[in-house]
Amino acid sequence: MSPLAILAICFVILTIMGIPLFVAVGLTTAVAIYIIDIPYTLMAQTGYGSLTPFPLLTIPLFVLAGRLMEVGGMANRMIGIATTLVGAYRGSMGLVTVFACMLFAALSGSGPATTAAIGSVTVPAMKREGYDIPFAAAITASAGALGSLIPPSNLLIIYGLVSETSIPRLFLAGLLPGLMITILLMITTYIIARRRGYGGNGDPFSWGPFLKAAWDGKW
């Protein structure tokens, strides 16, 4: 039996046994190293070489930054800034969610981090204001996807490395579509919220609260 067939059988058996996928892949890889007799020095060189492209190092750093902002309260500050801008309109919490996701995406570069950080605050708030849970979840999930488009996007970095395309040019190409999608999401949210009578209990925009929220948000 060929080594490839043995590895495939091992992987299938481990998966059927209910072993977590990452453990099954790791054990199968260990079996492959033992059967094929791969030099350990080659493994070290391959591992080091995969980290050589400098732009690739930005991805875990952006993910870490998104996590730090999530647990450090940055999401609440961004929501505060967004509230001072659109809090008086119909569907204010929905509009705040979209706008805050755009701001958070521009800092973290990660769609899942954006959805988790902003949604953990805004979805309960929308529920308290009478929003339907499916509608609130749809707003958060749609706006969280902006993290995959608005620079610095982790997906654009990976695409640039694989296709050997200029990453700064990809960032510039994603900026305008990201802003357009943000505006379209806010318009859609406003129309649906107006029909259903959601929100609109905030204060009208004024420079004082906005500047104060922006000053607090800089930290």
Domain limits of the chain?
Answer: 3-50, 54-217
Q: How far apart are the first and last CA of the chain?
A: 61
**pLDDT tens for each residue of 121-138:** 888 888 887 888 899 999
**pLDDT tens for each residue of 177-199:** 989 999 999 999 989 888 888 76
- The pLDDT value recorded for residue 183 is 92
- The pLDDT value recorded for residue 132 is 87
Distance CA 129, CA 80 (A): 17
Q: How confident is the model at residue 54 (pLDDT cuts 50, 70, 90)?
A: low
Phi, psi of 44 (to 5 degrees): -65, -40
Distance CA 212, CA 78 (A): 12
Confidence check: pLDDT of 88 > 70 = no
Confidence check: pLDDT of 75 > 80 = no
Beta strands in the chain (DSSP E): none
56: helix, coil or strand? helix
Q: At what angle do helices 167-196 and 92-108 cross, to 10 degrees?
A: 170
The tokens of 128 are what? 């308290």
- The pLDDT value recorded for residue 118 is 82
Confidence check: pLDDT of 10 > 90 = no
In order of 43, 86, 200, the CA distances from 79 in angstroms are: 46, 10, 15
Instruction: Give the count of beta carbons closer than 10 Å to the beta carbon of residue 165.
Output: 13
Average pLDDT, the chain: 79
- The pLDDT value recorded for residue 145 is 85
Task: Specify whether the CB–CB gap between 90 and 193 falls below 8 A.
Answer: yes
Amino acid at 86: V
Q: Is the overall model pTM greater than 0.85, yes or no? A: no
- The pLDDT value recorded for residue 185 is 92
- The pLDDT value recorded for residue 188 is 92
- The pLDDT value recorded for residue 70 is 66
- The pLDDT value recorded for residue 64 is 74
pLDDT-wise least confident of 21-25, 141-145, 200-204: 200-204
The tokens of 124 are what? 């309960």
